[in-house]
């Protein structure tokens, strides 16, 4: 179910687009602007050219802030501003100390957004922070060659000389000419999956309800194991967050008095899960609308089915709501025209009028591709063959 709540993450334009000035490299005694900087551990800090120069103290503070953010990634993400471009996502990842992600984003920004010298500099420094010295040197050299006379090229030359003392300052660096390769996409790796799992936040009960238990957490954890790497990468890059709550009204108290679309008079009390903004929200239990009694915690299959369905909405969102495109609608309409009258009542939730039916069908069919076998999944597979084929192609499955 999609909920039209205000998104937990709002858009913004990062100040880092102004350009890069002072660079501090921990673990090196690097001469920059006439002074030697010697810091204790490897990381790289950028400051915009219009900002005051960074200091060793501010670098340490940044490291502490990064560690704190890592411990509470999902909570921090809930209040962070969403970047508006691939380059901005790379800046955000870099500033958070996620250098592998930053390298991927910067490469994509260069190839897809035609980003300039700053993106090359961020990518080179990301490699440097990761200890990939050869790749860093090659990237610095390409920056120097492609953007001659710029402050970024001058800075890159200093790093090239540091990495390769045999290079002549006025000439080419002795690095073989190689094609710039795409960095390993962390989003589609085991490390990316671990980071995706860290985006799960547990909500504490506020109405005296039972807290989220270990069985529910394990059920959700098992869902991540089912997600193919290519879909995992979509969720990762889309900055999708995950929340498990005792009941939906523990997460959204006001929802106890608001009707939920598609639930025929029901409120958040009886809502098992939803997708809002960039967040998948799963309820461990639902509440009786009439008596306010909390029902027993849902079984693992039901929890996983709901979680994967809402994740289907998240994937749809990451791909610019392709369920509302003409191509999707064409296949969807061809399929629903063939649904028998005796089957239609069983899957009526996925036959709703307007775009809602398309969106819900897309989410459920996606969840089936991710391993969901609850309820009427066999009807969905049987009577939505064209839509299912289209989704597979869209996701690259």
Question: 62-116 pLDDT, tens per residue?
Answer: 334 444 444 444 444 444 455 678 999 889 888 888 888 888 889 888 988 888 9
Q: Are 124 and 139 in contact (CB under 8 A)?
A: yes
Residues 214 and 127 grouped into a single domain:
no
Residues 156 and 225 grouped into a single domain:
no
Q: Is 220 helix (H, G, I), strand (E, B) or coil?
A: helix
Q: How far is the C-alpha of 206 from the C-alpha of 360, rounded, in Å?
A: 30
The long-range contacts involving 4-8, CB below 8 angstroms and separated by at least 24 positions, are 4/261, 4/276, 5/252, 5/276, 5/277, 6/277, 7/82, 7/276, 7/277, 7/278, 8/77, 8/78, 8/79, 8/241, 8/276, 8/277, 8/278, 8/279
Please report, for the chain, how many H helices and E strands are present, in that order.
16, 10
Residue 5 resides in a domain: no
pLDDT along the chain (397 residues), means of 10: 45 34 33 30 32 30 40 45 79 87 88 89 90 88 88 86 70 45 54 77 87 94 88 88 93 76 72 92 92 91 94 94 95 95 94 89 95 90 96 92
What pLDDT, on a 0 to 100 scale, did the predictor assign at position 81?
Answer: 55
Parent domain of 226? 190-395
Residue 1 resides in a domain: no
Q: Is 240 helix (H, G, I), strand (E, B) or coil?
A: coil
What pLDDT, on a 0 to 100 scale, did the predictor assign at position 75?
Answer: 47
Please choose, from the candidates 358, 353, 365, 364, the residue with its C-alpha nearest in 3D space to the C-alpha of residue 389.
Answer: 365
Bridge pairing between strands 44-46 and 35-38: unpaired
The Cβ of residue 374 has, within 10 Å, a number of other Cβ atoms equal to 17
Residues 158 and 221 grouped into a single domain:
no
Residues 231 and 380 grouped into a single domain:
yes
What pLDDT, on a 0 to 100 scale, did the predictor assign at position 344?
Answer: 95
Question: 245-282 pLDDT, tens per residue?
Answer: 999 988 888 877 777 665 566 788 888 999 998 999 99
What pLDDT, on a 0 to 100 scale, did the predictor assign at position 264?
Answer: 62
Residue 4 resides in a domain: no
What pLDDT, on a 0 to 100 scale, did the predictor assign at position 375?
Answer: 84
3-state secondary structure 271-334: CCEEEECCEEEEECCCECCCCCCECCCCCHHHHHHHHHHHHHHHHHHHCCCHHHCHHHHHHHHH
Residues 127 and 55 grouped into a single domain:
yes
Residue 180 resides in a domain: no
The Cβ of residue 345 has, within 10 Å, a number of other Cβ atoms equal to 8
Q: For the chain, how many structural domains are there in total? A: 2
Residues 99 and 208 grouped into a single domain:
no
What pLDDT, on a 0 to 100 scale, did the predictor assign at position 262?
Answer: 57
What residue ranges in the chain does DSSP mark as E strands?
10-11, 23-25, 29-32, 35-38, 44-46, 81-82, 200-202, 241-245, 273-276, 279-283
Find how far residue 106's CA is from the centre of its chain. Answer: 15
């Amino acid at each position: 179910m999609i909920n039209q709540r205000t998104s937990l993450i709002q858009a913004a334009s990062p100040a880092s687009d102004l350009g890069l000035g002072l660079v501090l490299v921990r673990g090196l005694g690097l001469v920059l602007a006439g002074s030697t900087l010697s810091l204790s551990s490897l990381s790289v800090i950028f400051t915009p050219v219009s900002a005051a120069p960074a200091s060793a103290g501010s670098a340490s503070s940044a490291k502490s802030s990064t560690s704190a953010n890592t411990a509470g990634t999902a909570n921090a993400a809930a209040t962070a501003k969403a970047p508006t471009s691939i380059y901005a996502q790379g800046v955000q990842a870099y500033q958070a100390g996620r250098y592998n992600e930053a390298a991927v984003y910067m490469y994509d920004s260069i190839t897809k957004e035609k980003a300039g010298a700053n993106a090359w500099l961020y990518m080179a420094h990301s490699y440097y922070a990761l200890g990939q010295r050869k790749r860093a040197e090659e990237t610095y050299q390409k920056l120097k060659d492609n953007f001659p006379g710029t402050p970024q090229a001058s800075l890159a030359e200093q790093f090239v000389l540091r990495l390769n003392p045999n290079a002549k300052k006025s000439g080419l660096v002795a690095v073989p000419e190689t094609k710039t390769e795409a960095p390993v996409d962390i989003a589609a790796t085991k490390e990316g999956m671990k980071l995706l799992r860290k985006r799960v936040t547990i909500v504490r009960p506020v109405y005296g309800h039972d807290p989220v238990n270990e069985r529910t957490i394990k059920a959700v954890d098992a869902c991540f194991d089912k997600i193919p790497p290519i879909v995992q990468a979509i969720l990762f890059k889309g900055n999708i967050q995950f929340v498990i709550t005792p009941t939906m009204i523990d997460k959204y108290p006001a929802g106890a008095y608001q009707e939920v679309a598609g639930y025929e008079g029901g409120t958040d009390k009886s809502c098992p899960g939803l997708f809002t903004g960039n967040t998948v929200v799963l309820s461990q239990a639902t509440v009786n609308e009439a008596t306010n009694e909390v029902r027993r915690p849902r079984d693992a299959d039901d929890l996983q089915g709901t979680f994967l369905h809402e994740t289907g909405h998240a994937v749809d969102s990451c791909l610019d709501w392709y369920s509302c495109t003409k191509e999707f609608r064409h296949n969807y309409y061809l399929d629903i025209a063939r649904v028998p009258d005796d089957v239609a009542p069983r899957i009526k939730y996925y036959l709703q009028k307007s775009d809602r039916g398309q969106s819900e069908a897309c989410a459920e069919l996606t969840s089936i591709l991710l391993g969901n076998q609850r309820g009427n999944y066999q009807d969905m597979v049987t009577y939505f063959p064209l839509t299912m084929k289209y989704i597979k192609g869209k996701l690259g499955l």
